[in-house]
Structure 1
Amino acid sequence: MSQTAIPYHFLRGGTSRGPYFRRNDLPADRETLSEVLCAVVGAGNPRNIDGLGGGNAVTTKVAMLSRSYDPAADVDYFFAQVAVEERLVDYGPTCGNILVGVGPAAIEMGLVPVAGDVTSVRIRAVNTGALVEAEVQTPGGAVCYDGDTAVDGVPGTAAPVALNFMEVVGSRTGAFFPTGNAMDVIDGIEVSCVDVAMPMMIARAADLGISGHESQTELDKMPDLFARMEALRLQAGRMMGFGDVSKSVVPKLGLIAPPRGKGHFAVRYFMPWTTHPTVAVTGAQCLAACALAPGTVADGLVRPIDPSPAAVTLEHPMGEMDVLVKYDTRPDGVDFQSAGLTRTARLIARGEVLIPRSIWGGV
């Protein structure tokens, strides 16, 4: 079988991993691009046995990078969520974990030059228009991956990648509360529809019959819970202005519960048809914003949060995540200004990934 070779870097970003490409090494038209990405990942098989995917939504993600024409950014980051068991690609959302690897990948690809011991990479998320600044460790003129920073859900330690997210409110809808309400009721369940970094439908775990402290494995064995959540999500998607979201991962789902450790609250995050092993970077920002805003489902459930700037600690199935937030309080709500996180990334492989030439013959 004749095959097409495509240059790529393969990185772990936060608690996700996937191939990172130069955008101009891939097809320009969306239909062919989707076929190529499905072939790269091996979509359409639960184990992704014929591609680079890992049989889970956190391992079927793709980043496509290019120099930005936006004077406020160095790099454009175009994200694709490839399905596991279907040949389906969703370009609607972005991914904050894969974003962690964008700065290192851009330097490795020669898109951004090293600028001292720490290189700042300004990133524009093409899918949402968000602007993010990443600080990458580059002592000695190259990306350093060794370090002492630990991320719950990732073994060992690595060099820190600091991210500062700006202009995150209304990432897709233009509004903090896309429905116009801090809280809505869908089929008898109180929910908050929030759009900060990632549009989400957030509910209390107890209202759906769980504690909110279950493991990923336990939750993924609850088909009735997923059926109920999906019915709520489909209605929330329409209320948020997205129309039919049955084939889209947006809005994402979050169930919150009182904390058991030192965190401000516990969360179980869904992608949305499986449970996230930790919590998405963008989702964590949205959940933190929900916790700060009065009148949401988080009222009375969240431990008090310090005045701005503050660290909001989320308890997830594999530990904790801190979101550093800047905000102002107003008589009628909260002005959410920015969110910052420190995560890690690692370059795992680089070279060429091969796909059948019958799908695409190359640039």
Structure 2
Amino acid sequence: MYMKKYPCVYMRGGTSKAVFFHEKDLPEDKSGWDEIFLKVMGTPDVKQIDGMGGTVSSTSKIAVISPSDRQDVDVNYTFRQVDIVIPRVDGSANCGNISSAVGPFAIDEGLVPAVEPITVVRILNTNTNKIIEEHVRVENGRAMVHGDEVIKGVPGTGSRIDMYFEDPAGSRTGKLFPTGQKKEIFDVPGYGPAEVTVLD
């Protein structure tokens, strides 16, 4: 048995953390990616002792980044949620928190030229096939990390990142209101009826 090494970057985005990879550093055969991501996080193990996972879902995430060949997109971003209890890697959705770190990663890794004071990074999330535009504060050729911005769930302050999700509705079902109703009543066991709006 021998170890394989894959360069990576460990970053926080919003209230989550992920291990970021350049797609070029991973095997071309994507069928082996899940096994790599499970080992990187130390899954399955609720303590994730033998990996970089932080024992909760918000700190057991993966981002894979590559340059885009589309004229209207700078980088492609693939998200993976790694389970903690069972050996499962889910790629069916995106994570907004980790999306916010893609712009700074792309700038710091030289995938997008750094422009002061703000660099605009256009990102294609491959999970949803939707575009995110990020406006990242830049200083001395790198994404800023210090600033006065505060978000609930993260101690201290950081640099502001403005995110614009273009036409985000219907990435899973093709509809903004997948049930066809704007409001409906769900009978929740142990709670009773609850008025809800189901959105995609």
| TM-score, normalised via structure 2 length | 0.92
2:78 matched to 1:58?
A: no
**109-118 or 85-94, which deviates more:** 109-118
**109-118 or 96-105, which deviates more:** 109-118
Deviations 1:97-143 (A, max 9, x none): 00111001111221111122211101111100111111111122222
- Tell me how far 1:27 sits from its aligned partner: 2.5
CA distance in 2, matches of 1:186, 1:151: 31
SS of match in other structure, 1:7: coil
Residue in structure 2 matched with residue 87 of structure 1 by the alignment: 87
Matching residue's letter, 1:154: V
Q: Is the 8 A contact 1:63 1:80 kept in 2?
A: yes
Q: Is the 8 A contact 1:133 1:163 kept in 2?
A: yes
Residue in structure 2 matched with residue 96 of structure 1 by the alignment: 96
Unmatched tracts of structure 1, length 5 or more: 196-363
Matching residue's letter, 2:197: S
Q: Which has the higher helix share?
A: 1
Unmatched tracts of structure 2, length 5 or more: none
Matching residue's letter, 2:146: D
| 1:194 paired residue among 190, 196, 199 | 199
Deviations 1:176-234 (A, max 9, x none): 11121223445564543211xxxxxxxxxxxxxxxxxxxxxxxxxxxxxxxxxxxxxxx
Matching residue's letter, 1:194: L
Q: How do 1:303-314 and structure 2 match up within 5 A?
A: none
Q: What fraction of aligned residue pairs are identical, expressed as a percent? A: 38
Q: How do 1:278-297 and structure 2 match up within 5 A?
A: none
Residue in structure 1 matched with residue 34 of structure 2 by the alignment: 34
Larger RCO, structures 1/2 (Cα 8 Å, 6+ apart): 1
- Tell me how far 1:85 sits from its aligned partner: 1.1
CA distance in 1, matches of 2:183, 2:31: 38
Residue-pair matches, total: 195
2:144 matched to 1:144?
A: yes
What's the C-alpha RMSD, in Å, of the aligned pairs? 1.5
Matching residue's letter, 1:137: R
Deviations 1:41-60 (A, max 9, x none): 01100011110001100000
Residue in structure 1 matched with residue 158 of structure 2 by the alignment: 158
The structure whose Rg is larger is: 1
SS of match in other structure, 1:86: coil
Q: Is the 8 A contact 1:77 1:124 kept in 2?
A: yes
Q: Is the 8 A contact 1:117 1:141 kept in 2?
A: no
CA distance in 2, matches of 1:39, 1:46: 13
